[in-house]
Chains A and B, each alone.
Chain A
Amino acid sequence: MNKRIELKNHQQEMFNFRLRLFIGMGFALLLLVALLARFFYLQVMRHEYYHTLAEKNRISIMPIVPNRGLILDRNGVVLAHNFSGYTLEITPSKVKDVQATINELSKIVDIEPRDRKRFKKLQAESHDFETLMIRSRLSDEEVARFAAQQYRFPGVEIKARLFRDYPYSDKTAHLLGYIGRINQADQDKLEENDQAANYRGTDYIGKTGLEQYYEDELHGKTGIEQVEVDSAGRAVRILSRTPPVSGNTLILSIDAKLQEIAEQAFGDHRGALVAIDPRNGEVLAFVSKPGFDPSLFVDGIDADSWKDLNESLDHPLNNRVLRGQYPSGSTIKPFMALAGLYYKVRSPTQAISDPGYFTLPGSSHHYRDWKPGGHGMVDMFKSIVVSCDTYYYGLATELGIDRIFSYLSGFGFGKKTGIDLDGETSGLLPSQEWKQKHFKQKWYAGDTVSVGIGQGYSLVTPLQLAMATATLANGGIGYHPHLLMEVKNSSTGQVRKVENPQAFDVKIDPENLDLVKRAMQAVTQPGGTAAQASAGAPYTIAGKTGTAQVVGMKQGEKYDASKLDERHRDHAWFIAFAPVDKPRIALAVLVENGGHGGGTAAPIARRVMDYYLLGKVPEAVKPAEQPASAVPVVD
């Protein structure tokens, strides 16, 4: 009995299943019929319409690439602009044998091995249906020659393009960066930000520096042109046009002439210089030496040039201002002095006796002063003027690392400055917490001693030191350094000022400030460590020298034996601001392997200040090289 019911159920179930399957089948059929109806509508009823669109009047929707915005300095000097030129381009998918075609082309236009290598690299990075450049900046004659022979080269064409040009070339390379071909990573990012449509037709995008940081301002809005194309795909008539909107013009706070003078003042030295207007954080000069030729990157760099740049002992691609991390050396002392006064660890008049070394209580280890025999009795004023190490060993020990950390981070040490460029490094302001985290070790009293003179674990970038100097110069009120001053709208001509609000206030007692400023002024006068720095200047200069020890060499670097000695020399620092009472410029100069700050770095700072404050252009374009041995070894 039971069995029968089950059997019946089974049949019932089978019937239900088949019914549903039949419904499913009907559903599938319905979908196909719906498609058929749609095809009938498009291909029969609306055929005329689409036929007109596609066959008779092939309307092509073409993007019109906007002109990239210009970059000007604060006085309107052009730092980056566009010029039009012709390129020779190949679409690999339309060419049978790319190599043979290039060989054939080289008989008509000049194609260097460098062009071939670059093309090879481009080809490896791109899709075959993309149009790739084999030669840029063709001469009129070459254009004419190719045009006459074009019928022999299907898939090869001449295109008129806008090129990016940087008149100051290597002098502004680290500041402006460069644009380069949009690669897959860029494309992904554009699509992620929903900008892919606006970049249709655009080949280049900012890769580094300001070109990258302000890409959105510089790019502009792509226009649309509806054109009628003939059966060969050539445009014959424009139907409608939405004009593109050019990118905005960036007006920087940089003074191009100042930048040039600073750059030239380095001569053959490597190093970095940042000059800031302490009243608002505007960056006046931003130099990282050596620079490189950014146009190499714009066209796509070939492997050899890249190798040369990348493996050069001088590291020209390293942005030293932004990413170079060095011990601050004695340039930290004015800030340490302020810390001592702030925490009332030292009074201005309190003097120590300097025997030429410092010892920690209960230890016999000698921390030596740079001057054998010591400086005698040293108060705070003198400690800055003669850069007495012993004074700061003691001061640091009495302050302790926690208070040093807390006070110095107020000036921005150990943190990114927040400048409008990507890739900044944060330097290193050591703390107990940091050491525990990175070395799993507790902080020792000996660690604090060397922090007092800017050695040991501490590292700063030239930009950080410049910002801290500007903050000191401005009485403790600090601004994040900023390069962009104004944005000029390309279509309306309206100028939008970029506000740079006050960022922080290191509360400095006016008396303390006055003491440190006067001491720094004395540094640049006879008796100070940069005794020549203010000689003959009609304005007052405050400064501080510093020496960063070159501790060791990294492994694996290739060294030129004849240069080995030079590269073992210490790095020279000089920070300064002027005029002392109402500072309008503050700067930090680093000369790699420059020996002593007063000897090599201070003269560079002086030239920059002379031009900025007096408009004085240095007579000699190249400064006389001062051999390090001729400079008295002082710190």
Chain B
Amino acid sequence: MTKRQLMQRIMAHLDRPLLAGMAMLMAVSLLTLYSAGEHSMDRVLAQGANILVALVCMWIVANLPLHYLMRTAVPIYLVGMVLLLGVLTPLGVSSHGAKRWLNIGVATIQPSELMKIGVPLMMAWYFEKHEAALRMKNYFVAALLLLMPVGLIAKQPDLGTALLISASGFYVLFLAGLSWRVMVGMLVAAIASAPVMWKMMHEYQRHRIEMLLDPTQDALGKGYHTIQGMIAVGSGGIFGKGYLNGTQTHLDFLPERTTDFIFAVYSEEFGLVGNLILLAIYFFVIWRGFVITANASTYFTRLMAGSITLTFATYAFVNMGMVSGILPIVGVPLPLVSYGGTSMLTLLLGFGMLMSIQTHKKLVKT
């Protein structure tokens, strides 16, 4: 096999435009991590390792034919549910007042992470099974498949993840044709139940929303993140302060600057122009996701691809909205840019599915 053939073999099931978009975001990640980590290569190298591991997993998923993908839906969902229930047992690990982790002996894992993929996968599988004659009842069952894990995650409490999984599940329902009337009804119900929700929320969650309305109220505590994030973004101006020159970053004002607040570092140093470029890259990736979705060959793959793409867009929006102070701080990383192995892996598994959907359909022409 020549080098060329090998290369072709490797690239056979990878979608080049998508890969190009991802590579750009990963480059932004490594570049910004170097600045955020005070010119230390530690985080850059660790993130490089995260990316490599995730890319290998993505490649494997991309090479799996679609029927394999479908077959994993039920097992992944069931394992995820068992693990989520396991968090409630004494094996669950508490930290910072929330019980989100599970000790499985060799490592501590966060089952809700698995459900970011498991829930839309299961719902898409379910719709595919009942594609022939979809009734109101089916939407109801699908919604139940969504609400069970979301309820467990919200109880941990991890409101941020619960909301994001709800969003990914809602996208499946929406694309599967949930009637407009029901959606409007849900919206009205949500608005009406807001006061009740407010009462049911944990103290710290209420606090975060209050801080959003007036961050100066608790400048030393929870408002600190929001204030410092807004100062970083705002002071970046049109052209930014220049790479490695962000004062907010380098004078230690910014909290969590390699993870959830990495966008503030980027935005301070590259300004509005940099933000425009970043948004353009995100838009490119999202657009490619839509193209793949539109061309998908089966009902299952259409729903899955659509949900992955819309969820990705939501993540990007929520993180940047949180850093720039239009959304409460919910602890969502900036997709493909924030430091972290788990979120990188989850995202690339999703992209692997997109690529599989794009590259296998030619073979299963019906």
A residues near B (Cβ < 8 Å) are 13, 16-18, 20-21, 24-25, 27-29, 31-32, 34-36, 38-40, 42-44, 46-47, 49-51, 53-55, 58, 60-61, 63, 93-94, 129, 188, 191-192, 194, 196-197, 200, 222, 224, 229, 231, 233
CB-CB nearest in chain B for A25? B290
Task: Name the one of A13, A42, A197, A229 contacting B234, with C-beta atoms under 8 angstroms.
Answer: A42
For the complex, what is the distance from the CA of A31 to the CA of B283, rounded to whole Å?
10
A-chain residues with CB within 8 Å of residue B286 when the two chains form the complex: 25, 28
B248: interface (CB < 8 Å):
yes
Q: Which range holds the interface residue count of chain B?
A: 35 or more
| A196: B residues at CB distance < 8 A | 221
With contact pairs A28-B286, A44-B272 given, residues A21 and B306 touching in the complex (Cβ less than 8 Å): yes
> Which residue of A50, A61, A194 contacts B203 across the interface (Cβ within 8 Å)?
A194
CB neighbours (8 Å) of B139 from chain A are: none
Q: Is the CB of B294 closer than 8 A to any CB of chain A?
A: yes
Question: Is the Cβ of B247 less than 8 Å from the Cβ of A197?
Answer: no
B333 within 8 A of A: no
Check: B279 CB closer than 8 A to any chain A CB: yes
Let me know if B230 and A36 touch, CB within 8 A.
no
Interface: B282 (CB within 8 A): yes
Given A24-B175, A36-B276, A197-B220, verify A192-B234 contact (CB < 8 Å): no
Shortest CB–CB separation between residue A337 and chain B, in angstroms?
47
For A18, the chain B residues whose CB sits under 8 A away are 294
Interchain CA distance A191-B203 in the complex, whole Å: 12
A28 to B237, CA, bound (A): 25
* Contact yes or no, A21 B175, CB < 8 A: yes
- Interchain CB contact under 8 A, A50 and B230: yes
Interface string of B248-272 (1 = CB under 8 A from A): 1001110000000000000110011
**In the complex, are the beta carbons of A24 and B235 less than 8 A apart?**
no
Q: What residues of chain B lie closer than 8 Å to A35, measured between beta carbons?
A: 275, 279, 317, 320-321, 324
Per DSSP, are chain B's interface residues mostly helix, strand or loop, or mixed? helix
**Beyond A21-B175, A49-B234, A58-B251, is A200–B272 a contact (Cβ under 8 Å)?**
no
Which residues of B are found within 8 Å of A192, using beta-carbon distances?
96-97
A-B contact pairs, 25 of them (CB 8 A): A17-B302, A18-B294, A20-B177, A21-B290, A21-B294, A21-B306, A25-B290, A28-B313, A29-B283, A32-B283, A32-B317, A34-B321, A39-B267, A40-B272, A42-B324, A47-B235, A50-B235, A51-B235, A54-B231, A54-B247, A54-B248, A55-B235, A61-B219, A129-B38, A188-B96
With beta carbons under 8 angstroms apart, the residue of B95, B235, B279 that contacts A188 is B95
Residues of B contacting A129 in the complex (Cβ-Cβ under 8 angstroms) = 38, 252
Q: Are B40 and A50 in contact (CB under 8 A)?
A: no
Cβ-based interface call for B155 (8 A):
no
Cross-chain contact of A39 among B235, B241, B324 (Cβ < 8 A) = B324
Q: How far is the CB of A200 from chain B (nearest CB, A)?
A: 6
Task: From known contacts A24-B174, A39-B275, infer whether A31 and B314 are also in contact, taking CB-CB under 8 Å.
Answer: yes
Contacts of B276 in A (CB 8 A): 36
A-B contact count (CB 8 A): 141
Chain B minimum-CB-distance residue to A184 = B95
Q: Identify which of A16, A21, A49 contacts B293 (C-beta below 8 A).
A: A21
Indicate whether B224 reaches chain A with its CB closer than 8 angstroms: yes
Kindly list 6 other residue pairs between chains A and B, CB separation below 8 angstroms, not including A32-B313, A50-B230: A24-B309, A31-B317, A39-B272, A39-B275, A50-B234, A51-B234
B310 within 8 A of A: yes
| Closest B residue to A45 using CB positions | B234
Q: Which of B289-323 contact A (CB under 8 A)?
A: 290, 293-294, 302, 306, 309-310, 313-314, 316-317, 320-321
- Bound-state CA distance A42–B324 (Å) is 8
| Chain B residues, Cβ within 8 Å of A25 | 286-287, 290
Interface of chain A, main secondary structure? helix
Which residue of A is nearest B203, CB measured? A194
Cβ-defined partner of A191 (8 Å) among B97, B231, B306, B325: B97
B224 adjacent to A61 (CB under 8 Å): yes
- The distance from the CB of B139 to the nearest CB of chain A, in whole angstroms, is 14
Q: Are A53 and B253 in contact (CB under 8 A)?
A: no
Report Cα–Cα, A25/B305, bound state, in Å.
Answer: 13
B95 contact set on A, CB distance < 8 A: 188
Q: For the complex, give the distance between the alpha carbons of A60 and B218 in Å.
A: 14
User: In the complex, are the beta carbons of A93 and B302 less than 8 A apart?
Assistant: no
CB pair A224–B251 under 8 Å, yes or no, is: no
Q: Is the CB of B234 within 8 A of A47?
A: yes
The reply on B82 being an interface residue by CB < 8 A is no
Contact status B230-A42, CB under 8 Å: yes
Bound: A229/B252 CA distance, A? 12
The answer to whether B125 has its CB under 8 Å from any CB of chain A is: no
**Does B238 have its Cβ within 8 Å of any Cβ on chain A?**
yes
Find B222's partner among A32, A197, A231 (CB 8 Å cutoff): A197
- In the assembled complex, which residues on chain B have CB atoms less than 8 Å from the CB atom of A222? 220
> Whole-angstrom distance between the alpha carbons of A214 and B38 in the complex?
39
Contacts of B271 in A (CB 8 A): 43
A46 CB, nearest partner CB in chain B, Å = 5
* B68 CB contacts on chain A under 8 angstroms: none
Question: B230 to chain A: which residues have CB within 8 Å?
Answer: 42, 50
Contact A54 B220 (CB under 8 A): no
Q: How far is the CB of B87 from chain A (nearest CB, A)?
A: 17
